[in-house]
A and B are shown apart, each in its own frame.
Chain A
């Protein structure tokens, strides 16, 4: 039940785009189209931003997009805004008896 691998930090200026990667294996990301991404502001509960690789829940801005290639998933935030500064976590289905999260990426808006 190993965690997925994310860079500890990422940054970008307002208006720019930033992409956060999430590396897994063929037993999780590579084997299923059940990758999701979560945004967490300090002291708050996580919020679902992307599910099933590239689907956005109602209310999530279309500046947020997801993709997957092989065993690696990515979250792209376009047109960065100050309120996007937060921690971001990826997660994947890894079999009926397992779910795994990434270690998290702290996104800083410069």
Chain B
């Protein structure tokens, strides 16, 4: 059974940083594109970033370019999202997702709240 478990969410002040992690199991992690998708409270889904199997290609939505960094550790079956210079509009549930285009499996999400 595919499992994706996010951690690292919480409350952070504007301008602060946070690092999300995702522990993957139940599939061959090193063979899968991985993504982060977020959902602001009461709003729709927004693709944030994705990363190729070997980490050689990474892509981001315009609003987070230069502030967020996606990375992976295939030896530890883990995905990460380093978030810097956080803004109030980054407040959302962040989902770890298996897939780069077809988002096949989703974690339960980690809530990130940016507020003073």
A residues contacting B by CB (< 8 A) are 1, 3, 34, 36, 38, 45-48, 51-52, 57, 89, 91, 93, 96-104
Contacts and interface: CB of A to CB of B under 8 A. Distances in A.
A58 B95 CA distance: 22
B21 interface: no
Contacts of B85: none
Contacts, number: 57
A45 B95 CA distance: 8
- What 3 A-B pairs are tightest by C-beta distance, nearest first? A99-B47, A51-B102, A45-B106
Interface of B: 35, 37, 44-47, 50, 57, 59-62, 95, 100-109
A102 B61 contact: no
B47 A34 contact: no
A73 to B, nearest CB: 14
Given A1-B62, A102-B44, A45 B109 contact: yes
Nearest to A96: B59
A89 B60 CA distance: 20
Contacts of A93: 101
A52 B59 contact: no
B44 A104 contact: yes
A87 B1 CA distance: 25
Contact of B102 (A1, A36, A47): A36
B106 A34 contact: no
